Structure formats: C-alpha cells, structure tokens
Amino acid sequence: MNLIVGVLVVFGTVFGGYILSHGNMKAIWQPYELLIICGAAFGSFIIANPMSTVKATFASIPKLLSGSKYSKQNYMDLLTLMFKIFNKARKEGLMAIEDDIEEPHDSPLFNDYPKIVKDHHVLDFLTDYLRIIVGGNMNPFELENLMDVELETHHHEDSAVSDAITRVSDAMPGFGIVAAVLGIVITMGSLGGPAEEIGGHVGAALVGTFLGILFAYGFMGPMANALEAKSAEDGKFYQVMKICLMANVNGYSPQICVEFGRKAMPTAFRPSFQDMETHLNENK
C-alpha cells in the first residue's frame, strides 16, 4: 500500500508541478530515453548479481505491495506458543515435546497458531532449535553462537536484494547522463536545421538526465530502503525467538522466558506485563 501511495505522490507532485508551471507533457514523453536508461540499468543489474539474487529481487516486489508481515497478534501468538511448549517440557519432561516438534503440523500445540505454522522459515527455526535442546548435547554458549550465525546468514541473504537495488539506484543518474549524451550527439547532427528541431533534441537529452535522477531518488532508492526495513522486521521476530529459547536453556521458568521475549519486542507491538500475563492465563 505504501508503495502505491508513494508512487502516486511522487508522480503527482513532480509532474503536477511541471504542468502547473505551464510545462508541455509531450516534451517529457521520451520513450527512447526510457529504453536507454531502464535497459542499461537492468543489464547492469543482471551482470552484477547472481541469478538467485535476480529471482529473489523480482519475488520481493509483492512484499512492497503488502503491509507489515508482523503485527502485535503475531508476536502474542509466538510468545504464547513458546510458553505452552516450555510449560509442557517443564511439567512432563523434554521428551514430552518431541512429537510436537517432529510433526508440528499434527501438533495440537502448534495448530492453535496457524500463522506460525504457515511461515515455514519461522517454524523451521523454532523446531530445529527445540530439537537441539531436547537432544541436550550443546551448551548454552555454543547454542547461542549457532543461532547468531544462522541469523547473520539469514540477514545477509535478505539484505542482498536491497543492496542490489541500492546499487542500481546509485547508477541511475549515470545512465541518465548516458541518455543525455546520446541526445546531445543527435543534437549535434541537427545543427544548421530549424531552431525548433534543435530545441526538441536538447529537451529530449535533458529529459534523460531528469528521468535518471527521478528513478534513482524517487523510486529505486526508497524501494531498497523499504525492503531493508522489512528485513529488519524479520530479524526482530527471530531475535525474540532466540531470546526466549536461550532463557529456557538457562533454566528460567516459562513465564520468565516469555518475559525476556516481551522485552525484545518492538515498542509499537509490546504489550504491558499485565496484558501479557492475562493473555497467557487465558490461553493455558
């Protein structure tokens, strides 16, 4: 939604201001300039990135059209699920949760929270580390280090897309200059002709510079920033899981483990201690 609103605002203000200044939109419409700039940018994007990043970039476009992936309810569901898992393990022993983590799609504990189950990355992260905890063969320091390595890898893979788009954004003004230079070359070939024709060629060349700058700072750069913000949202959700799991490994009660996770939640979503306690009591 933000993408659509932002694009409309950029177009509306830039071209609206141009029209109100008695500008002629026919002078702005230069399809060959667009072909040069966009084609060169796309070609350089393919050269600079592995095909996995190219595919991931196009796959990320729907993320820009949707709102935030996480909400307060997502966090509440996660903390409640982890509380139930820790509570069951504390009362019945670690082996009691083995069936739940081996077959989470058939587990009554997990199936109470379908949004968690549908997100296979989150589900895999949670169940993988619960398996390690049940196995009992890794000390807390090694476990935390392993989590940090996985989270760093996850962040690096996510940021590859936004980094790739940022590099294209940085190059767009340069491609605009390329289009402008080619326009000047055409203009030089028209010297001696009618003044209107020369003026038209100069105008077309300047449009190339204008479009390169507009695409860079009006669209590509903000899109890269939006994807980076969404990657940070993912990272925070995983961080909450990590903190809860580490608190459990260090021997804290389920209630305190969840409290550790609550403290790590984004401020905008974080419930009060009383609200969290009431929610857990209602879902025991």
pLDDT, one tens digit per residue, over 68-119 is 788 888 899 999 999 999 999 888 888 888 888 888 888 888 888 888 888 8
Q: Which residue has the tokens 């767009």?
A: 172
State what percent of residues in the chain have pLDDT above 70. 99
Residues in the chain: 284
More confident residue, 195 or 146: 146
Alpha helices in the chain (DSSP H): 2-20, 25-28, 31-48, 51-59, 61-65, 72-92, 98-102, 108-111, 114-118, 120-135, 140-188, 195-214, 221-249, 254-264, 273-282
Q: Are 150 and 125 within 8 A, CB to CB?
A: yes
* Residue 28, domain member (yes or no): no
**What span, in angstroms and rounded, lies between the C-alpha atoms of 155 and 231?**
7
Q: Note the pLDDT of residue 241.
A: 93
Phi and psi torsions of 228, nearest 5°: -65, -40
Q: Note the pLDDT of residue 183.
A: 86
What are 223-272's pLDDT values in tens digits? 999 889 888 888 899 999 999 999 998 889 999 999 999 999 988 888 88
Residue 210 pLDDT grade (very low, low, confident, very high; cuts 50, 70, 90): very high
Dihedral (CA of 212, 216, 220, 223) sign = negative
**What span, in angstroms and rounded, lies between the C-alpha atoms of 67 and 226?**
11
Domain region containing 110: 72-154+233-282
* Residue 107, domain member (yes or no): yes
Query: Looking at the predicted structure, is the pLDDT value of residue 43 above 90?
Result: yes
* Residue 60, domain member (yes or no): no
Whole-prediction pTM value?
Answer: 0.81
Q: Could you give the angle at the alpha carbon of 177 between the alpha carbons of 44 and 220, nearest 5°?
A: 50
Q: Are 172 and 216 within 8 A, CB to CB?
A: yes
Q: Are 91 and 85 within 8 A, CB to CB?
A: no
* Residue 259, domain member (yes or no): yes
* Residue 128, domain member (yes or no): yes
Q: Note the pLDDT of residue 220.
A: 92
Q: Could you give the angle at the alpha carbon of 20 between the alpha carbons of 19 and 26, nearest 5°?
A: 15
**What span, in angstroms and rounded, lies between the C-alpha atoms of 74 and 240?**
12
Domain count, the chain: 1
* Residue 137, domain member (yes or no): yes
Q: Note the pLDDT of residue 284.
A: 67
